[in-house]
């Protein structure tokens, strides 16, 4: 028996200490992402075949790199295995449909052979199968999963994602601004900070600085605000004098702002547009006055609002959408002024809500209230390249954006009253100028702002109506990185016994009364019970006359009347008496016991002598 025990102890020593213990069940990553799968499959893109894209469980870093551009060639299994091979090499992999070759090897594919199977001439150009695959994966949009960043009570009209993809800003018609952090976000998808820039003013535009250390907030007020990355106010620009007619002589905007954008390269330059009919360039280091005022060219003198504005990707040009439907572009150069370099009249039949430059500086996108999206060639602006119609738009902040590789154009649509379709996110091919896909975001809410982040490879779309609002984040676990993947995969932390921390109670009996801690309610109750007066039951009020030192109430009298009578305040009726009668009632007592005038003249004039009236005066 002892030998068997020693044998078992020796075997047990070979196993780890945790052998045999039950491990806590952990939810797999695939199951977590299955909870965020989109339900409306019909409105998504046509799904690729299961052979071309693996499942979530089989996704790996090598496969993800192969899907993205600049992909590296895959390694063979023998190259992937770092360990030394044992035994003879594996035979080459043969597919099921392949037939074993018999005889001499065939010539390489692409070469022309004669009757004797000899190669003649250079190889022929062959059609690469990768071209078809690239064509299929060229417009692959991350749409398989979706999360919603909620918190707003009305439509979300402004959106900004920093360059690193860690923080998201959303502004709404409910006058609030919310800040989301993917790195610290839990599964409740809540914001870590909520701000109200200007009370009673809608948030209309948000823009991050080039360093992502500050952001610009544009509201319906005439003053724009600058915040740091944590939401602390850095400053606000000055408001101009509304009684000055010439806008160039004012130090700031005089009416509500419509749009604003940070310079793409310079961290101290900001562009804003306003309903007062001007665009202004600001310096962050000086909030008291703008650097330059731009007045658009108008057909008639007056004030026409500038509905939107945009920087060129290199900061060399500025575009503005005017309320008369025209697009005006100014080239930033030494000595430039308000005269536009490019002026397109009647570009749209209604107000322009969004402008966007391409990174190569060749194309300009414009979105309008007239339900159209137009693509312009900056080298020939007389006529648009293409007009995409049937895109309803009911919000002045509806924008248009590019995909990270700028192969696709995306914009949102608003919900119409009698239309069965809800808010859509439409994707168009930039080169072919045709519709690629329509994605349903919400059946009842309109899509206002949209963005496709290049680092995260995730699509952001803000939606809402008069009763709710949120930011929809579309992603694909096999294509996207970080962002929504981080907050979805982060499991809620279980509370542990070690988390309990007793709050120390510091007693300072010699502190001043102002800083002394209030006694606990338990001690107060114990002290009151020991007090015979406070612990005594209150006596009931008496009816009738009082007795034993207590005053009662008689019929038709109140306690206040009783106290006034006892104090004698009700006996003073001198305000109702005649003054002469009030004085004469003391005449008899004054003669018998004089106190004031008579004793003073008793020695010098014992008998009073009064002046006799003259007869002439009497007559």
pLDDT given at position 283: 92
* Residue entry with tokens 């803000």: 462
pLDDT given at position 544: 66
pLDDT given at position 17: 64
Mean pLDDT, range 166-188, rounded to an integer: 90
Inside any domain, residue 91 = no
Structure tokens at 539: 């006596």
Distance of CA 276 to the CA centre of its chain: 26
C-alpha 186/C-alpha 486 separation (Å) is 9
Look at the alpha carbons of 535, 537, 538, 539 in this order and tell me if their dihedral is positive or negative.
Answer: negative
pLDDT given at position 72: 42
Q: Which of 126, 391, 407 is nearest to 399 (CA)?
A: 391
* Complete edge-to-edge strand list for the sheet that includes strand 342-344: 306-311, 317-322, 327-331, 342-344
- Evaluate if residue 617 carries a pLDDT over 70: no
Range of the domain at 475: 140-492
For the ranges 95-99, 255-259, 509-513, the lowest mean pLDDT is seen at 95-99
* Residue entry with tokens 């700031």: 252
Contact by Cβ (8 Å): 327, 347: yes
The better pLDDT of the pair 313, 121 is held by 313
Inside any domain, residue 483 = yes
**Strand 400-402 to strand 408-412: parallel, antiparallel, or no bridges (unpaired)?**
antiparallel
Inside any domain, residue 607 = no
First to last CA, the chain: 158
Q: For the chain, give the mean pLDDT.
A: 78
C-alpha 543/C-alpha 559 separation (Å) is 11
- Evaluate if residue 71 carries a pLDDT over 50: no
Look at the alpha carbons of 265, 269, 274, 279 in this order and tell me if their dihedral is positive or negative.
Answer: negative
Inside any domain, residue 133 = no
* Residue entry with tokens 């090598």: 62
pLDDT in tens, 106-115: 555 444 444 4
Inside any domain, residue 223 = yes
CA distances from 196 to 85, 238, 321, 466, 472 (A): 65, 18, 27, 18, 22
**Kind plus residue range of the DSSP H or E element containing 322:** strand 317-322
Structure tokens at 31: 């199951």
pLDDT given at position 385: 92
Contacts 24+ apart (CB under 8 A), 1-5: none
Helix ranges (H only) for 52-122 are 61-67, 77-80
pLDDT over 90 for what percent of the chain? 38
Mean pLDDT, range 160-188, rounded to an integer: 90
Most confident of 319-333, 492-506, 547-561, 604-618: 319-333
Q: Does residue 63 sit in helix, strand or coil?
A: helix
Mean pLDDT, range 534-555, rounded to an integer: 68
CATH code where residue 282 lies: 2.130.10.10
Inside any domain, residue 557 = no
pLDDT in tens, 19-46: 655 555 666 777 777 778 887 543 444 3
The better pLDDT of the pair 129, 291 is held by 291
Q: What is the largest CA-CA distance in the chain?
A: 175
Mean pLDDT, range 316-341, rounded to an integer: 89
Within 13 Å and on the Cβ side, how many CA atoms surround 327? 29
For the ranges 99-103, 210-214, 272-276, the lowest mean pLDDT is seen at 99-103
pLDDT in tens, 558-614: 667 666 666 665 555 666 778 888 888 888 888 788 776 777 777 777 777 777 766
pLDDT in tens, 99-138: 444 545 555 544 444 444 454 444 544 444 454 444 444 5
pTM value surpassing 0.95: no
* Residue entry with tokens 């250079």: 122
Inside any domain, residue 497 = no
Q: Does residue 530 sit in helix, strand or coil?
A: helix
Q: Does residue 197 sit in helix, strand or coil?
A: coil
| Number of domains composing the chain | 1
- Evaluate if residue 167 carries a pLDDT over 90: yes
Q: Does residue 605 sit in helix, strand or coil?
A: coil
Inside any domain, residue 97 = no
What contacts 376, CB < 8 A, 6 or more positions away? 327, 344, 347, 363, 364, 365, 366, 384, 385
pLDDT given at position 588: 85
């Amino acid at each position: 028996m002892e030998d068997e025990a020693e044998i078992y102890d020796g075997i047990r020593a070979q196993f780890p200490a945790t052998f045999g213990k039950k491990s806590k069940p952990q939810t797999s990553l695939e199951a977590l992402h299955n909870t965020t799968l989109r339900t409306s499959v019909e409105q998504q893109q046509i799904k690729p075949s299961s052979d071309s894209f693996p499942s979530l469980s089989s996704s790996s870093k090598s496969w993800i790199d192969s899907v993205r551009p600049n992909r590296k060639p895959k390694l063979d299994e023998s190259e992937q295995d770092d360990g030394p091979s044992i035994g003879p090499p594996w035979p080459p992999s043969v597919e099921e449909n392949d037939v074993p070759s018999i005889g001499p090897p065939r010539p390489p594919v692409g070469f022309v052979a004669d009757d004797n199977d000899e190669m003649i001439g250079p190889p022929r150009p062959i059609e690469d199968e990768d071209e078809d695959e690239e064509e299929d994966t060229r417009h692959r949009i991350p749409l398989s999963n979706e999360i919603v960043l909620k918190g707003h009570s009305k439509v979300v009209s402004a959106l900004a994602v920093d360059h690193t993809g860690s923080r998201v800003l959303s502004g709404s018609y409910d006058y609030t601004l919310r800040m989301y952090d993917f790195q610290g976000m839990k599964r409740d998808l809540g914001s870590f900070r909520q701000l109200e820039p200007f009370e009673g003013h809608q948030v209309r535009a948000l823009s991050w600085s080039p360093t992502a250390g500050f952001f610009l907030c544009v509201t319906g007020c005439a003053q724009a605000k600058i915040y740091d990355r944590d939401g602390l106010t850095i400053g606000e620009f000055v408001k101009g004098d509304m009684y000055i007619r010439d806008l160039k002589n004012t130090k700031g905007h005089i009416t509500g702002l419509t749009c604003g954008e940070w310079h793409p390269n310079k961290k101290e330059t900001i562009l804003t547009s306003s309903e007062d009919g001007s665009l202004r360039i600001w310096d962050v280091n000086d909030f008291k006055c703008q650097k330059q005022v731009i007045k658009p060219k108008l057909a008639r003198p007056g004030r026409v609002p500038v509905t939107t504005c945009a920087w060129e990707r290199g900061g060399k040009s500025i575009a503005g959408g005017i309320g008369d439907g025209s697009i005006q572009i100014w080239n930033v150069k030494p000595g430039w002024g308000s005269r536009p370099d490019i002026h397109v009249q009647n570009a749209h039949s209604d107000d322009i809500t969004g402008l966007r430059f391409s990174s190569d500086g060749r194309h300009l996108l414009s979105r309008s209230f007239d339900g159209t999206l137009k693509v312009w060639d900056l080298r020939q602006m007389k006529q648009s390249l293409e007009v995409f119609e049937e895109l309803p738009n009911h919000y002045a902040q509806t924008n248009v954006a590019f995909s990270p590789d700028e192969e696709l154009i995306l914009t949102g649509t608003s919900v119409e009253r009698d239309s069965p379709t809800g808010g859509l996110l439409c994707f168009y091919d930039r080169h072919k100028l045709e519709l690629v896909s329509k994605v349903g975001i919400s059946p009842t809410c309109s899509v206002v702002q949209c963005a496709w982040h290049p680092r995260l490879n995730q699509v952001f779309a803000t939606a809402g109506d008069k009763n709710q609002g949120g930011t929809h984040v579309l992603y694909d676990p096999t294509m996207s990185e970080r962002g929504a993947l981080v907050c979805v995969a982060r499991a809620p932390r279980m509370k542990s016994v070690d988390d309990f921390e007793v709050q120390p109670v510091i007693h300072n009996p010699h502190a001043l009364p102002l800083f002394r801690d209030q006694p606990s309610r338990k001690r107060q109750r114990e002290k009151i019970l020991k007090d015979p007066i406070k612990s005594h039951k209150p006596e009931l009020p008496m009816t009738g006359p009082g007795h034993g030192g207590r005053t009662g109430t008689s019929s038709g009298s109140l306690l206040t009347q009783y106290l006034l009578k006892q104090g004698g305040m009700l006996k003073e009726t001198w305000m109702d008496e005649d003054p002469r009668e009030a004085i004469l009632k003391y005449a008899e007592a004054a003669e018998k016991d004089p106190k004031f005038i008579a004793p003073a003249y008793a020695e010098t004039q014992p008998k009073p002598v009064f002046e006799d009236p003259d007869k002439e005066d009497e007559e």
